[in-house]
A and B are shown apart, each in its own frame.
Chain A
Amino acid sequence: MSTLPPELQTELAQQVAAADHPREQVINIMYVLQKHYGYMSDEAVEEAAALLDMTPLEVEELATFYDFIYREAVGKFVIHVCDGVVCWMFHEGSVFDYLCEKLGVCAGGVSADGMFTVLPSACLGFCDHAPAMLINGVFYGHLNPEKIDAILEKLRREYCDLVICR
């Protein structure tokens, strides 16, 4: 039995029905479910499979493949730290280490306040502003410890809609 709110269930079913090929909607559906559940939970995998007439295994194959689909619980803000070679050149990985230390987490963990998850990410395409990171769809560049502190403070204080890539 679906645990989705009926309106969301209907909306997603309509989205699938409107597609030429239902399966082309799988990433979009995963994004919506991820937003609803906070991450792509086991329940979300089952829901996606039922909506798209796929097996849960087929959904799992995709959910575990893509780095912007989170198969484990994440914080409210997912910090994608660029580990491309240009960012590395400027900071030798320390943006990542600094964030982990500051937030008391390892890669993929959730900070104690439930706010942040830090993930290493493939070159974000922001090399002209290296070192860079991406948080819920927004780029931050030319990073240094002071700037990172200010960004984290701002995110803690100010309301921000949970984007998770959409």
Chain B
Amino acid sequence: MGEQVLLLNRQPDRPLSLEEYRQSGGYEALMAAVGKRTPEELRQLVLASGLRGRGGAGFPAGKKWSFIGKGHPRYLIPNTDEMEPGTFKDRVLVNVNPHLVLEGIILSAYAISAAKGIFFIRPSYEMDAELIERELGVAREAGFLGENILGSDFSFDLVVHRSAGRYICGEASAQVNAIMGRRPHPNKEVHMTDAGLWGKPTIVNNVETLACVPAILRKGPDWFKGLARSKDGAGTKLFCVSGRVNRPGCYEMPMGTPFNEILDEAGGMSPGSELKAFLPGGASTSFMPPKFSQVQMDFEPLKETGNRLGTGAIMVFDQNTCLVGATLNLLDYFTRESCGFCTPCREGLPFIRDLLLRLEHGEGKEEFIPMLKQMAHHMFKAYCAFAPGAASPVLGLLHHFEAEIREHISQRQCPFKGK
């Protein structure tokens, strides 16, 4: 399994308390940082660590922070929207060690001189929102949060923002609109780092990204880099494995661990199941057939295969699962969740969905295949990353499983029905 950084001392049935976290070095990084190291030093250390965003895009965290604008107040938004299908790592992380998450947030706020944090959480995670609110109080009581943290001149407070659903709210600029009580459309006209929340410099980071920060500061950027198994990788990664495996769950393993080793960690394939395909990082990534079993699960190695690490949410499909049906399910999801703001996404996704629906119902025609390809490529003309993400499983299906689409056409029905 390798060294545990984020899920260290994980208990099966309860979150770790503040005391337990402190026994394993919790809040030491904060005590060593505030008033002793400059925010610039922290930014440089995180940049040197090679930490990349865990929310899907993989942007270097230290670099994002370096773009922070000059204005004040500045905001930090820990993103726990986690609505990428197959992804539940942030829920597990918050429930295993809420104070690790909080220390990561406070240190990151210090690094960008933020005055206020808004913990953005989806409504299905209401229980976790309550847990975070409770532990916020504990951290405040201990002097780690609020006015003059640990007697320094650094003040930072965090509030929980309860969302009311919808996938697009995970996108940084849409999330900022959501918090401001506006309709959560993405906004690419402004840079969040200059004019984000209420027009002020704002950083939106996934909570897994932020939770890496305490250990980076405590043990150094080289140690963090050394955790990874891939050449240019850094740190560990929370992989959520689900689908036809024996032990679905969230596993912390070195960044760059090959897919087949992660599958083994999850107990291997379920009885009677053979690996047919997997989605490596949520619904916005592309299907991979078994020939990719050795692929290192990290940003660059997956990019080399034409795919993406995404959120590291691995969904495993077996030989009895219809991938046309699975892609149809994913497109049902994306069609419904599209915010409707731009034309390619609003009009294109229902078009693709309709072709898949007809294929699945045995009404498909040969010409649907080039139509699907063309429409999937049109999705890259959309306003934000939502539609290209939605096109990814479609392109994977076309690229690796075209024979299965043809079977649907030639048999005039789904070949898996009645199996």
Contact = CB atoms under 8 A, between A and B. Distances in A.
A163 B179 contact: no
B329 A27 contact: no
Contacts of A125: 82-83, 87-88, 91, 122, 124-125
Nearest to B318: A89
Interface string B315-355: 10100010001100110110011010000000000000000
Contacts of A67: 164-166
Interface residues of A, number: 44
Contacts of A134: 124
B180 A84 contact: no
A104 to B, nearest CB: 24
A17 interface: no
Interface residues of B, number: 52
Contacts of B178: 27
A85 B315 contact: yes
A21 B180 contact: yes
A27 B164 contact: yes
A92 B179 CA distance: 35
B144 interface: no
Nearest to B90: A125
Q: Identify the interface centre among A121, A125, A127, A128: most chain B CB within 10 Å of its CB.
A: A125
B250 A85 contact: no
A123 B85 CA distance: 5
Nearest to A80: B124
Interface of A: 20-21, 23-28, 30-31, 52, 54, 61-62, 65-69, 80, 83-86, 88-89, 92, 121-130, 134, 137-139, 163, 165-166
Contacts of A129: 248
Contact of B126 (A25, A27, A121, A166): A166
B333 A83 contact: yes
Contacts of A166: 126, 162
A83 B184 CA distance: 22
B249 interface: yes
Given A30-B164, A127-B248, A165-B123, A84 B85 contact: yes
B250 A128 contact: yes
Q: Identify the interface centre among A28, A85, A86, A163: most chain B CB within 10 Å of its CB.
A: A85
Nearest to B163: A27
A24 B179 contact: yes
B243 interface: yes
Q: Identify the interface centre among A26, A88, A163: most chain B CB within 10 Å of its CB.
A: A88
A92 B321 CA distance: 10
A163 B123 CA distance: 11
7 contacts: A23-B182, A84-B86, A88-B326, A89-B315, A123-B87, A127-B315, A166-B126
B162 A89 contact: no
B253 to A, nearest CB: 16
Contacts of A69: 164-165
Contacts of A163: 126
B324 to A, nearest CB: 12
Contacts of A28: 162
A132 to B, nearest CB: 10
